[in-house]
Structure 1
Amino acid sequence: MKKLPLIFGLLLIFACKGPTDETKSSNSSEDSLSTEDLLPESLMESKPVVLTLEEANNLAELPLACVNTEYPNKLGQTLENKNAMGEPHELHPAFYGCFDWHSSVHAHWSLVYLLKNFPDLQKAEAIQQALEKSLSAENIQGEVDYFNREESNSYERTYGWAWLLKLSEELKTWEDPKAKELADNLEPLTQLIVKRYKEFLPKLNYPIRVGEHTNTAFGLGFAWDYAHTVKDEVFEEAITKRAQEFYLKDDNCPVSWEPSGYDFLSPCLEEVDIMRRVLPKNAFSMWIDDFMPELKNEDFSMEVGEVSDRTDGKLVHLDGLNFSRAWVLYGLANQYPEQFGHLKSLANEHISHSFDNVAGDSYEGGHWLGTFAIYALQQAGKPKSEE
């Protein structure tokens, strides 16, 4: 924390400035230098997995199969009375499949992302029909009604909230008339989630630093992306302020303690992922020197997560960890290639280790791991839709 006063000083300097290229998320880093332009070949040991049309066709099978698969299902609800019970499709007319609500939401994100970037998908028509069926105005109103139930104020906080905003962001940035219609249908639920974030963040006195759903840094990162993309400056500022209050004083993150047995997120790296968004370049560089300085070392390494039983829904989380670590490392390398470009090789290694496990996996992993793989590959670089 020796550099903390300097960081605060830099934040004061940048406080009056709007978002700059340095504080944009990796989703907006298309113009940054590539790692290959900056690194010797000796440091590019692990070759990247590239999201081609062939791979997109394979990955599309997973969400397309599960969005209408109602059982098995983990509802995760609090019942205010016996009348609150119901079948999944009755409770969640839009997002009842894929085992649980958040997985259904990000399965729909996967379908939108793949169709948006690969319009020549073999099952493009089936995907379009599935999206139109799920994301109808009537179905989304049913979801809003569920969230407005007496006992649903904290439902899916904040993991499911984050994925809902990611789905909305993907639709709103797709220049397609049908996408605009779907985004408009989704908007009442989107705005409800934004409202829930704004109400919750001031009340959260301490961040949640775990490797699963409730990780605060993850929820803040996706929410920041949405706010930045749609230019909701009030929401973006609220997220930025809270992230800095939560994490600015952190140092010496014990990354050697990771992973825990059920992790699908890295507590240390997720914190890096939100702070690279909300800090100016110089302030972030000084912060990382205190928080996780080893990331700047060209020989930095982390062992991949190893899954011992792919039919165990908790143990298979570690494949998700490999993908989420990769997307953080890609985001950091793409935003600041001169300092962190070497991390792409490590990200490639993590994706390569788990990618072959996604297609044909048991339902325990198959209903969600595809999304994690797709998002990691999105952060790696532009998809090769022309192939």
Structure 2
Amino acid sequence: MKKILLLSLGIALCACKDKRDTNIEPANELKEEDTSIVEEIKEELMPLEDLQFSLTQANKLVKLPLECISTKYPYRPGFTLTSEKDLQTPDTLHPAFYGCFDWHSAVHAHWSLVSLLKQFPDLDKKEEIKEQLQQHLSKENIQQELKYFKKKHNKSFERTYGWAWLLKLSEELHTWNDSLARPLEENLQPLTNQIVENYMEFLPKLNYPIRVGEHENTAFGMTFAYDYAKTMNNEKLMNLITTRAKDFYLSDDDCPLGWEPSGFDFLSPCLEEVDLMQRVLAEQTFKMWLKDFMPQLMSKDFELTPGEVSDRTDGKLVHLDGLNYSRAWVFYHLANKYKDDFKHLKPIGDQHVSHSLKDLFGDSYEGGHWLGTFSIYALSQRENN
């Protein structure tokens, strides 16, 4: 019986589970014979202190967004031309988010600055960060960004990847206990409202989820939007995302993790779906769903090889470093939320972060303009117990 009926059948679910489910043992304490894979992974990791989110590490990471948020070129517009009047410089079109190669990267670079300063108030460059945030996220700049989204042919601009990061930035400002946070959040609010409206309009019309490993991935876009809705107590948006997530994914079985990664992936189609469903489903329902969707995650001997980048100057090929970070944050989230069942995933997350973090600093602009954000979010999830 398809799991679309799970929530309504309650306890009767247990009787309907496939026999294959009974062969999967609950993930509790590591058995002695199962520790070998963990020890092998530990041997491949950078020193543990390099993975712990520290002020020293934050001072290094903050340089990446600071260096790109005011860098106009190179730039990828990603918009539809309606006339020659649309041919304007990036900072004219997007006075708040014109740097970092493209709009969404500029947005999440600002999230990176807020997140780092929120977690480490004593950052060396704290005054420069605050100055840049005030300059970029001014009321006038955000109004200009809003006008851009209001134009007829821009309704799908940055759908839904950039939308998701805008809501993540708004959420980070809302939860930042600093005198600067409230005025910046208020400045951003009109654009935030527009993005929420865009989600409310778009999701009911989407008949099928987009399962790719790049920007259009529906599960990723819904995950960050759900986080925002939950933080803001926006029940209307939260309920819509919950409903659409179940519509799209509740009946899914046997995600082909062996097909991943594709050559340009920076998101895992399988794991992004897991990350969303663990948010919208109750614990026991989620675990039953996972036994059908990705039972291997519950196995203590689960392993996953990090993605390999062959050319760090190729903007598409370097996506695979992003995949390593995004895989890791899903593993960390599961390990922290359900410690008894998924703590064996944390060293696999460490393996993925270790694999890519060593190449982050001094990287080419193709990776440097955005991978800092992914590393920050992954490391934040690692520490988020």
TM-score by length of 2: 0.90
- Greater shift after overlay, 81-90 or 166-175? 81-90
SS in 2 for 1:214: coil
2:259 maps to a residue whose letter is W
> Match for residue 274 of structure 1?
276
Deviation track 1:121-170 (CA, whole Å, cap 9, x = no partner) reads: 11111111000000000000010011111210000000000000000000
> Match for residue 167 of structure 2?
165
Report 1:299-338 matches (<5 A). 299-338=301-340
Given candidates 360, 363, 379, the residue that maps to 2:362 is: 360
The number of aligned residues is: 361
Given candidates 31, 40, 52, the residue that maps to 1:50 is: 52
For the pair shown, the structure with the greater C-alpha radius of gyration is 2
- CA 1:135–1:253: 2 relative to 1, 3 Å: same
1:9 maps to a residue whose letter is L
Given candidates 115, 118, 123, the residue that maps to 2:117 is: 115
- CA 1:163–1:279: 2 relative to 1, 3 Å: same
Tell me if the contact between 2:309 and 2:317 (Cα under 8 Å) persists in the aligned partners.
Answer: yes
SS in 1 for 2:169: helix
In percent, how many aligned pairs have the same letter? Answer: 59
- Greater shift after overlay, 45-54 or 170-179? 45-54
> Match for residue 32 of structure 1?
none
User: Structure 1 residue 40: deviation in Å?
Assistant: 7.5
SS in 2 for 1:342: helix
Where structure 1 has 5 or more consecutive residues not aligned to the other structure, the ranges are 14-34
Tell me if the contact between 1:325 and 1:350 (Cα under 8 Å) persists in the aligned partners.
Answer: yes
Cα distance in 2, alignment partners of residues 317 and 284 from structure 1: 29
> Match for residue 10 of structure 1?
10
Cα distance in 1, alignment partners of residues 31 and 114 from structure 2: 36
1:296 aligns with 2:298: yes
Report 1:104-253 matches (<5 A). 104-253=106-255
Cα distance in 1, alignment partners of residues 223 and 10 from structure 2: 21
Higher relative contact order, structure no. (Cα contacts within 8 Å, ≥ 6 residues apart):
1
Where structure 2 has 5 or more consecutive residues not aligned to the other structure, the ranges are 14-26
Deviation track 1:214-263 (CA, whole Å, cap 9, x = no partner) reads: 00000000000000001001110000000010000000000000000000
Tell me if the contact between 1:251 and 1:290 (Cα under 8 Å) persists in the aligned partners.
Answer: yes
Report 1:70-81 matches (<5 A). 70-81=72-83
Given candidates 71, 90, 93, the residue that maps to 2:92 is: 90
Deviation track 1:269-304 (CA, whole Å, cap 9, x = no partner) reads: 000000000000111011001000000000101111
Tell me if the contact between 2:117 and 2:123 (Cα under 8 Å) persists in the aligned partners.
Answer: yes
User: Structure 1 residue 2: deviation in Å?
Assistant: 5.8
Cα distance in 1, alignment partners of residues 180 and 172 from structure 2: 13
Post-superposition, which runs of at least 4 consecutive aligned residues in structure 1 deviate over 6 A?
none
1:257 maps to a residue whose letter is W
Tell me if the contact between 1:80 and 1:150 (Cα under 8 Å) persists in the aligned partners.
Answer: no
Cα distance in 1, alignment partners of residues 207 and 12 from structure 2: 23
1:57 maps to a residue whose letter is N
User: Structure 1 residue 10: deviation in Å?
Assistant: 3.5
User: Structure 1 residue 349: deviation in Å?
Assistant: 0.3
TM-score by length of 1: 0.90
Cα distance in 2, alignment partners of residues 63 and 313 from structure 1: 17
* RMSD of aligned alpha carbons: 2.0
1:280 maps to a residue whose letter is A
